Every structure is written in C-alpha cells, then in structure tokens.
C-alpha cells in the first residue's frame, strides 16, 4: 500500500500480531467509533477480525481528526498505524493510528445500527446484515463445515463429480419441482444429484456431488428452504450398514473440525459446545417400527405408515444425546428408488439421521434398488414414466451392483452445529416460500 509515497506492510486484522511495534496498513470498514475529546477510538473490521484503532489529534492533525470524527458506520478506510500489544484488546492488539485514507464515506442512514432489529427487517437487509459479527461467524462456520465434508470424502477416496441443476425428471417425487422453460420443453430445477451420482459410481466407484438443490415446498418451518445445498456421497458395492457407518464417520469428522477450528466462533455466537463434544460412533439406531412404538409410549397419536413430521422427529431425537438413525421406513412413504429390506419388503433399507436438540433430519439416504425388474415396477407404482428414466434403467441393465448413498443438507447441519433457531441464518441469501429478495 502506498500512502504519501511510502510503502508499508499491508496486513489483515487477524495477522497484525506478526507486526508488533511496526507500522502497517489495514483496509476495512468502520464498525463503530467513540471519542473523548483529543482521542478517538475507531473500531475497524476487515472480514478477518475487528480491531480498535486509536487516533489522537496530535498524531494525525486537526483536519484528519475532524474528518474521521464525522464518519458514519460502514465507511470504508485504509488505516495506517503502529501495531501495539494490549492484553485488554479482544484480539490482543490495537493500532496507534498514524494516518488514514477515507475510501468511501457511508451515507448517514445505515439501516443496521448496533441496536436490536426484527428478523423480517434484518432479512430484508440481508446484504447488510451479513456484515455483523454474528452473521459473519455463522458464515465462517458454514464454510468450515463444507470444507470438512469435502476433506472427509476426498480422504475416503470419493471423487467429486457434479450433477446437473436443470433436469427433465424428478428424483424426490413430482410435487415439489420448480419448473423451468427449456427451449420449448419442460425442465425442472434439481431436487437432488443422486440419480446422476448413481451413473457416476459405475465409472468411478465412489463419488460425491455438492451443489444447490431446489424444493418447491409449501412448508413454512424453521427447517425448510426452497433452495438449499446438499452434499451427496454415493458408492458402488456399498451396502446399507456400511453406509450408516460412513454417515457416522462424516458427522464426527465435521464436528471435530468445527470444534477445533471454529471453537472461538461457536463461543461468539453463544453455542453450548458441550452438546457437541461427546458425539462419537456408534449412533443409536431405531427402526421406524420401534420409533412409532416409542412415540406411542410418549402419548403421541401416530399410526404405522404415517410419515414423521417435525414434532415426531424432535420427540424421537430428544431421547438421545447423539444423532439417531431411524431406519426401515415403510416402502410406501419413501422414494421409488429405495431398496426393500429382503427380510421384510414392506420396509426399505433407508435411514434418516436425526440431529439432537430438536434439529430433526439432517441426512436422508439408503441403499438403492439394483434389480432391473423391481425398479421398473416401482417407477410404474409411482406413476413415473419409464421413458424418462431409460438412462437410469440402463444402470441396471449394464453391470448393476448393490449401491448406497445419502444426502446431507448443509443448512440443517449448520443450524444444528451453530445452535440456531432457524435455517434462514445458515445461508448467505435464504430462499423461502415468502422470500426471494435480496
């Protein structure tokens, strides 16, 4: 950075410690400021952290001092100053300001002040809300969770393949498809990359896709987005039991990563990390039939064959400190591709992983039908036109093998790990039934 013809070390707030007692420049935004006559405290944020910059009239002159004094929150600045160790400062350092360039003066009506706002107001101003420390922490944790998923699967020998977003047919049932007009043909936004993963494993063995998925769900709950991100591993020759173990390992890997790498961020957002530390394999397992029995014991009115709503999932999960698998759902309430249990074909080799503390299903997965005739029969039962699934049937015609996979919704995982009330804070720009903007 060049100020007044001098070249100074340019660094970030997270790295200032490397330059103690040296003069550096920092580029960022004014988060807050206060003044006591001849001294002004500028709280600067730059994405990597927050630091207090102390400016005095004597060091920077009347003119700059008075211009800084008039700055509104969120004005952008390049600050020059000496890095000073200060045990009372949050990051352990502060900056003794020697100079400052005002890059852009913020207007005086910045909508997100440091007071409380209603959540609809905040969502309307998501583009600005995301600058606040809490939202920044959540986005950092989200990024770490995504990285952990990738590192885990890469380490287990999975290959990242990406599934298309525009698709001609349904994966998870036809009722929640978003239509797209595709050059005179009807297409849909993808609900899941699974079917394409199933093709890719016959080439690569173990694969995963990671991308946005779309559900035109009319659900207005704290767990539902219409656009969410899903990590979907799939493996040839992997059977049901092995898949459950893979899920356990992945969840524990993610938790370990976040607890070690983002412990300070979890603390900042007020997460009780005790609830996450004891989570190790194996996770408890209940069959759907056992889960229904448990719910009945707890006085809940449910019949065998009913799908689980959120309150049921919460009731089941609250019995355990760890995530819990519910397995062997009734065939008739699950997707067409689910492999029936050979010992009881009324149930499938499918599992939902329910997170503790009321967060509900974070993973859905199972073993897939690998028999050609059975798959064809199921497509017919679900009124899905076989001609749209010819390519998918080909996978059963040419060297079919038992295989399994699952999908984890990133936002559900972030909500649980961060302990958030609602998934709307887990994604940079949430899309929900009543929200498409900003």
When binding is defined by CB under 6 A, the residue of 30, 79, 171, 420 that contacts ligand 4AD is 171
CB-based burial of residue 67 (10 Å sphere; 0-12 exposed, 13-18 middle, 19+ buried)? middle
Considering only the stretches 60-68, 214-222, 300-308, 358-366, report the one whose residues sit in contact with Mg ion under the rule CB under 5 A.
358-366
286 binds, among Mg ion, ligand 4AD, none (CB under 5 to 8 A by kind): none
Considering only the stretches 11-19, 62-70, 294-302, 402-410, report the one whose residues sit in contact with ligand 4AD under the rule CB under 6 A.
402-410
Long-range contacts of 273-278, Cβ-Cβ distance < 8 Å, separation of 24 or more: 275/321, 275/356, 275/357, 275/419, 276/417, 278/321, 278/322
Least distance in angstroms from the C-beta of 313 to Mg ion: 10
Are 198 and 395 contacting, i.e. CB atoms less than 8 angstroms apart? yes
In whole angstroms, how far apart are CA 316 and each of 129, 331, 364?
35, 20, 16
Backbone angles phi, psi at 113, to 5 degrees: -85, 180
Structure-token match 């890997």, residue found: 253
When binding is defined by CB under 6 A, the residue of 81, 323, 356, 364 that contacts ligand 4AD is 364
Considering only the stretches 25-33, 253-261, 355-363, 394-402, report the one whose residues sit in contact with ligand 4AD under the rule CB under 6 A.
355-363
When binding is defined by CB under 5 A, the residue of 364, 366, 409, 430 that contacts Mg ion is 364
Residues 418-437 that bind ligand 4AD (CB under 6 A): 423
Among 273, 356, 344, 296, residue whose Cα is nearest residue 320: 356
Q: Is 361 near ligand 4AD (CB under 6 A)? A: yes
Structure-token match 């998925």, residue found: 213
Give the helix/strand (H/E) hosting 121.
Answer: helix 119-124
Among 273, 354, 345, 349, residue whose Cα is nearest residue 309: 354
Least distance in angstroms from the C-beta of 362 to ligand 4AD: 5
Q: Is 129 near ligand 4AD (CB under 6 A)? A: no
> What is the pattern of x (binds ligand 4AD, CB under 6 A) and - over residues 189-208?
---x-x--------------
Q: Is 362 near ligand 4AD (CB under 6 A)? A: yes
Least distance in angstroms from the C-beta of 345 to ligand 4AD: 20
How many residues belong to the site for ligand 4AD (CB under 6 A)?
Answer: 24
Is the Cβ of residue 49 or residue 350 nearer to Mg ion in the bound state?
Answer: 350
Residue nearest to ligand 4AD (CB): 364
Query: 342 is written with which tokens?
Result: 């050979």
Is the Cβ of residue 98 or residue 221 nearer to ligand 4AD in the bound state?
Answer: 221
Give the helix/strand (H/E) hosting 211.
Answer: strand 206-214
215 binds, among Mg ion, ligand 4AD, none (CB under 5 to 8 A by kind): ligand 4AD
Residues 215-234 that bind ligand 4AD (CB under 6 A): 215, 217, 224-225, 228, 230, 232
362 binds, among Mg ion, ligand 4AD, none (CB under 5 to 8 A by kind): ligand 4AD
> What is the pattern of x (binds ligand 4AD, CB under 6 A) and - over residues 228-267?
x-x-x-----------------------------------
Parallel, antiparallel, or unpaired: how do β-strands 350-355 and 360-367 relate? antiparallel
Structure-token match 């050059």, residue found: 183
346 binds, among Mg ion, ligand 4AD, none (CB under 5 to 8 A by kind): none
Q: Is 366 near Mg ion (CB under 5 A)? A: no
Is the Cβ of residue 52 or residue 192 nearer to ligand 4AD in the bound state?
Answer: 192
Long-range contacts of 380-386, Cβ-Cβ distance < 8 Å, separation of 24 or more: 381/336, 382/173, 382/336, 384/169, 384/170, 384/174, 384/336, 385/169
Cβ neighbours of residue 5 closer than 8 Å, sequence gap 6 or more: none
Query: 71 is written with which tokens?
Result: 């700055």
Is the Cβ of residue 77 or residue 201 nearer to ligand 4AD in the bound state?
Answer: 201
In 269-422, which ranges are continuous DSSP H helix?
274-277, 288-297, 310-317, 372-381, 390-397, 410-418
Positions in the binding site for ligand 4AD (CB under 6 A): 171-172, 192, 194, 215, 217, 224-225, 228, 230, 232, 361-365, 405-409, 411-412, 423
Interface residues with Mg ion (CB under 5 A) are 364
């Amino acid at each position: 950075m060049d100020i007044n013809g001098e070249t100074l070390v340019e660094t970030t707030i997270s790295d200032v410690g490397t330059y103690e007692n040296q003069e550096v420049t920092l580029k960022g935004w004014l988060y807050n400021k206060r003044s006591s006559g001849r001294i002004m405290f500028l709280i600067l944020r730059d994405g990597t952290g927050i630091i207090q910059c102390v400016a005095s009239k004597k060091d920077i002159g009347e003119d700059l001092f008075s211009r800084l004094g008039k700055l509104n929150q969120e004005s952008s600045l390049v600050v020059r100053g000496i890095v000073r160790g200060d045990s009372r400062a949050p990051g352990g350092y502060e900056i003794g300001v020697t100079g400052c360039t005002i890059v852009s003066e913020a207007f005086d009506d910045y909508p997100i002040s440091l007071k409380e706002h209603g959540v609809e107001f905040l969502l309307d101003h998501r583009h600005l809300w995301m600058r606040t420390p809490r939202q920044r922490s959540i986005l950092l944790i989200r990024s770490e969770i995504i990285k952990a998923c990738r590192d885990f699967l890469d380490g287990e020998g999975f290959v990242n393949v990406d599934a298309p977003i525009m698709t001609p047919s349904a994966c998870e049932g036809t009722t929640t498809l978003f239509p797209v007009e595709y050059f005179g043909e009807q297409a849909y936004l993808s609900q899941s990359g699974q079917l394409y993963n199933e093709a890719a494993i016959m080439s690569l063995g173990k694969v995963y896709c990671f991308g946005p998925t779309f559900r035109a769900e009319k659900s207005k709950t704290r767990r539902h987005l219409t656009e969410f991100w899903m990590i979907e591993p799939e493996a040839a020759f992997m059977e049901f039991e092995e898949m459950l173990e893979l899920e356990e390992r992945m969840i524990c890997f993610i938790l370990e990563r976040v607890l070690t790498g983002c412990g300070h961020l979890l603390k900042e957002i007020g997460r009780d990390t005790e609830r996450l530390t004891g989570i190790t394999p194996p996770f408890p397992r209940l069959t759907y039939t056992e889960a229904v029995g448990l719910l009945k014991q707890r006085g809940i009115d449910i019949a065998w064959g009913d799908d689980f709503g959120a309150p049921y999932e919460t009731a089941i999960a609250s019995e355990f400190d760890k995530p819990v698998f519910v397995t062997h759902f009734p065939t008739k309430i699950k997707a067409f591709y689910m492999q029936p249990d050979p010992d009881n074909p009324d149930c499938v080799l499918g599992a939902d992983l329910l997170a503790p503390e009321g967060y509900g299903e974070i993973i859905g997965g199972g073993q897939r039908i690998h028999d050609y005739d059975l798959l064809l029969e199921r497509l017919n039962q679900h009124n899905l036109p076989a001609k749209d699934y010819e390519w998918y049937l080909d996978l059963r015609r040419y060297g079919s093998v038992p295989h399994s996979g699952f999908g984890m919704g990133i936002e559900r995982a972030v909500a649980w790990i961060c302990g958030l009330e609602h998934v709307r804070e887990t994604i940079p720009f949430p899309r929900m039934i009543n929200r498409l903007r900003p």
